[in-house]
Structure 1
Amino acid sequence: MGPLLLSAFLLQVPSLGFGYPTGAPSSTCEDMIPRHSGVQPQPSPAPYAIQTSSRTFQPQQPVTVTITGAEYSGVLLQAYMGSSFNALGSWQSPPANTKFLKCSGNQRGAITQSNTNVKGNSTVYSWMPPSETSSIYFV
């Protein structure tokens, strides 16, 4: 059995055009807190869940990641270990309307929106685990 995969969720929700229409800035990688002008982070639990194709992973075997819930236009998706927001692994070809975001010096360390087009349950992300880690969290 491989290391464990866990999920948490933070979603960037643009409001009245104050969001980042072409993706989150790299400065959000460290704490993943949305910084849209005039918008406060949502204090209540997100109406979304992150689902993975498996609860465990093996190095160099891709993991499918899906965000379920209502449709969304903004996203910042990253894998990390423990309380550190250092991006681990690498995201594979980003789905339509998304792109890579360099986090922790990792060119494919995160995925963010590339435009404001709606994304939903049919938007599937593929993540390649690093060689050695223990529990991984998707945020």
Structure 2
Amino acid sequence: MAAYIVLLIACVLPVLVLGYPTGAGDQACINLTPQHVGTISQNSTPPYSLFVDTNSIKQGGMVTVTLNTTATNGYFKGFLVQARCTKCTTADTAIVPGTFAKYTASDGTIQTKNCAGGDKNSITHTNATEKTSVMFTWKAPGGYDVSQGIEFRATVVQNLRTWWNTVMSDEISVTTSSCSRSASATAVVIGSIIAALFL
């Protein structure tokens, strides 16, 4: 029995102490909840913000996202960010299949992550150093349903027992490309001309 207890402590203690210092675990992908044993999300207003540099992009377009601390002397050690569909019936679990990338190639504090079978559809930390801000880009998929809105959602970890999973950006709309709009407009004009010729 004593050997079993020692073995159990040896297995659990590293998770309790370290959490996920080199990036969010796969278990956090769907509900953005880190698997820190014996902890729950904070109910207070998160001392962090997700800032997006635009509120409208075209299919296949790019947006720059910044995760900042908003508290004086604030910091965070870990994070997981995804683009989520705001108007889908499964909005809480609908990861939009866009592609994350580092804003600066030399930034060694962040890395992309493949969640739920996607490719680079999430971004997370690489180490547990204290951070005040991280910046990255997200490229919208070319064929995304433009009737569905997008917002970025994050879990931000201050320390092993203190974390928030209610950090959200403003909503972003995705429009069809200008070429598609031009083609549609041209088709309408041509159709009008042909109809007029037969009147």
Bucket of the pairwise TM-score, normalised by the shorter protein: 0.7 to 0.9
Normalising by structure 1, we get a TM-score of: 0.78
Report 1:96-135 matches (<5 A). Answer: 96-121=108-133, 123-131=134-142, 132-133=144-145, 134-135=148-149
Offset of residue 98 of structure 1: 1.4
**Gaps in structure 2 of 5+ consecutive residues:** 1-15, 154-199
Offset of residue 28 of structure 1: 1.0
Structure 1 or 2: larger helix share? 2
Counterpart of 1:86 in structure 2: which amino acid?
Answer: A
Offset of residue 85 of structure 1: 2.3
- C-alpha distance after superposition, 1:86-111 (max 9, x if no partner): 32211023742111121121120101
Q: Is the 8 A contact 2:25 2:35 kept in 1?
A: no
Counterpart residue number, 1:66: 66
Q: Is the 8 A contact 1:18 1:38 kept in 2?
A: no
Counterpart residue number, 1:138: 152
**Gaps in structure 1 of 5+ consecutive residues:** 1-15
2:102 to 69, 93, 104: 93
Q: 1:39 to 1:84 in 2, by over 3 A?
A: closer
C-alpha distance in 2, partners of 1:85/1:57? 22
Q: In the alignment, is residue 79 of structure 1 matched against residue 79 of structure 2?
A: no
SS in 2 for 1:57: strand
C-alpha distance in 2, partners of 1:73/1:102? 20
Q: CA RMSD in A?
A: 1.8
C-alpha distance in 1, partners of 2:57/2:116? 22
Normalising by structure 2, we get a TM-score of: 0.56
Offset of residue 18 of structure 1: 4.1
Q: Is the 8 A contact 2:102 2:110 kept in 1?
A: no
**Greater C-alpha radius of gyration:** 2
Report 1:34-49 matches (<5 A). Answer: 34-49=34-49
SS in 2 for 1:92: strand
Tell me which moved more, 33-42 or 53-62: 33-42
Q: Is the 8 A contact 1:24 1:76 kept in 2?
A: yes
* Equivalent residues, number: 123
**Greater than 3 Å deviation, 4+ residue runs:** none
C-alpha distance in 2, partners of 1:85/1:32? 9
C-alpha distance in 2, partners of 1:17/1:118? 16
Counterpart of 1:96 in structure 2: which amino acid?
Answer: G
